[in-house]
Structure 1
Amino acid sequence: MSPEIIEKTEQYVKNKLQGEGTGHDWWHIHRVRNTALRLGEVEGADLFIVELAALLHDIADHKFHDGDEEIGPSTARNWLERIEVDEAVIRKVCTIIRDVSFKGAEVKTTMESIEGKVVQDADRLDALGAIGIARAFAYGGYKGRELYNPEIDPESHSSFEAYKKSSGPTLNHFYEKLFLLKDRMNTMAGRKEAEKRHQFMKEFVDQFLSEWDGNFEL
């Protein structure tokens, strides 16, 4: 493990994502890195791979690059080659970045390595709970989406292409992705924390819907 490689990569990611306003900013990376390292310690993962993959997992997200699924791994590869990281490490990190994202309710996103499993769990945990709620609405605002529209039903996307084209209201995203995550965690610790954050998010949505029509007891 090279502290210099981690330090250089951290600064590179900070420079690229600092101040980003959709919830995919440096602080998202910071939280995912810290969570992934905690899970990785418990699971006996290679923490160098975990940390690099967590730092670079959103370096070029397909959501901001016309749906290009390869731009994230290729951007990460270019950076890691530039700082002369071993090819075996680069391949493992890029595989994690390629497979980490949720791709639709009916699409499997299986991670083969324990390093991938903990990074995926960490990324998914940051989509849950109070921070997950805040990030969902920040991204929805960025995309110009309605908060909620009871006339538009949530969809169950059968392909990544269909999921990428989704443009429904932000509240639909809770049903299309966020409420599904607790049952798709890879690690025991991840599942335990996901349950708590899921419950908080469910209570929020219940409260949101109870307020929707402006009816309440006087």
Structure 2
Amino acid sequence: MSQLTAITQYMHQALATDVTGHSVDHVTRVLALANKILVNEPTADPFIVQATALLHDVYDDKLFDTPKAVAEAKLALHTFLIDIAVSPTIVAQIFQIIDNMSWSKTLDGDAEALDINGQIVQDADRLEAVGAIAIARTITYGAVKHRVLYDPKIAPQTQQSKADYRQANSTTINHFYEKLLLIKAHLNTDTARQIAQSRHQFMLDFLAQFEAEWVLDK
């Protein structure tokens, strides 16, 4: 069994029961997007990109109830990668990307710089937060977290810290203004920026239609 096959199986097991929009199908799309970007980035390491794309949500703190559970998931992943003979150097690179690629990590200004491998995975993951599927994932996540769908009296947050970004009293629709509509300006690669164009416009169209219908219904 190849290392990537084993990693894929590990990811399937880890995320099999996810209901937040960070499930196996999300990761599969991130991998596909990463592969599409890889075609135009010849200096990148395909194994590091593909392995990290597959594993980037395995110990995401949004998916666990306690910091202890996150730490345990991270340790289990480290042990697994060593057991399937991924070199310690590459393991360290995979973890460096996962630990520094998230949107929330960059809000406090303490994320480490990513090399081209990390930039590709970050772009692929961020593209999953732009477009039609992003709309569905956002509504799904909001429902799971019991967020209000929309309240025009609650303004989107600006100048957010990670704590502000994660606050519970924002709304699902506000999330578009707090993150999703900002992503297009924070992509690393030309390929990702090209993919984002039509997806970004689709979200703008959706929001305009949503708000028009909301007013009509009042």
TM-score, with length taken from structure 1: 0.90
For 1:182 and 1:129, the matched residues in 2 are separated by 11
Matches within 5 A, 1:65-80: 65-66=64-65, 68=67, 71=71, 73-80=74-81
Return the offset for 1:67. 7.0
Return the offset for 1:75. 4.5
Contact 2:100 2:114 in 1 (8 A): no
Contact 1:100 1:120 in 2 (8 A): yes
Change (3 A) 1:195 1:17: same
Change (3 A) 1:95 1:35: same
Correspondence for 1:90: 91
Aligned amino acid, residue 146 of structure 2:
G
Percent identical? 38
Aligned amino acid, residue 198 of structure 1:
H
**After superposition, what is the alpha-carbon deviation per residue over 1:45-73, rounded to whole angstroms, capped at 9, x for unaligned?**
10000011000000021112247496465
Matches within 5 A, 1:116-155: 116-155=118-157
SS at the partner of 2:34? helix
For 1:96 and 1:106, the matched residues in 2 are separated by 16
Matches within 5 A, 1:6-25: 6-25=4-23
Return the offset for 1:13. 0.7
Aligned amino acid, residue 53 of structure 1:
T
The number of aligned residues is 214
Contact 2:33 2:124 in 1 (8 A): yes
SS at the partner of 1:158? coil
SS at the partner of 2:156? coil
Change (3 A) 1:129 1:60: same
TM-score, with length taken from structure 2: 0.90
Change (3 A) 1:48 1:173: same
Gaps of 5+ in 1: none
For 2:87 and 2:26, the matched residues in 1 are separated by 26
Correspondence for 1:31: 29
Aligned amino acid, residue 50 of structure 1:
V
Change (3 A) 1:166 1:146: closer
Return the offset for 1:132. 0.3
For 1:5 and 1:196, the matched residues in 2 are separated by 35
For 1:99 and 1:48, the matched residues in 2 are separated by 18
Contact 1:104 1:163 in 2 (8 A): no
Correspondence for 2:58: 59
For 1:159 and 1:205, the matched residues in 2 are separated by 24
Matches within 5 A, 1:199-218: 199-214=201-216
Gaps of 5+ in 2: none
**After superposition, what is the alpha-carbon deviation per residue over 1:71-104, rounded to whole angstroms, capped at 9, x for unaligned?**
4654432321232210010010001100111017
**After superposition, what is the alpha-carbon deviation per residue over 1:164-217, rounded to whole angstroms, capped at 9, x for unaligned?**
33441100000000000000000001011112111100100010000002259x
Return the offset for 1:18. 2.2
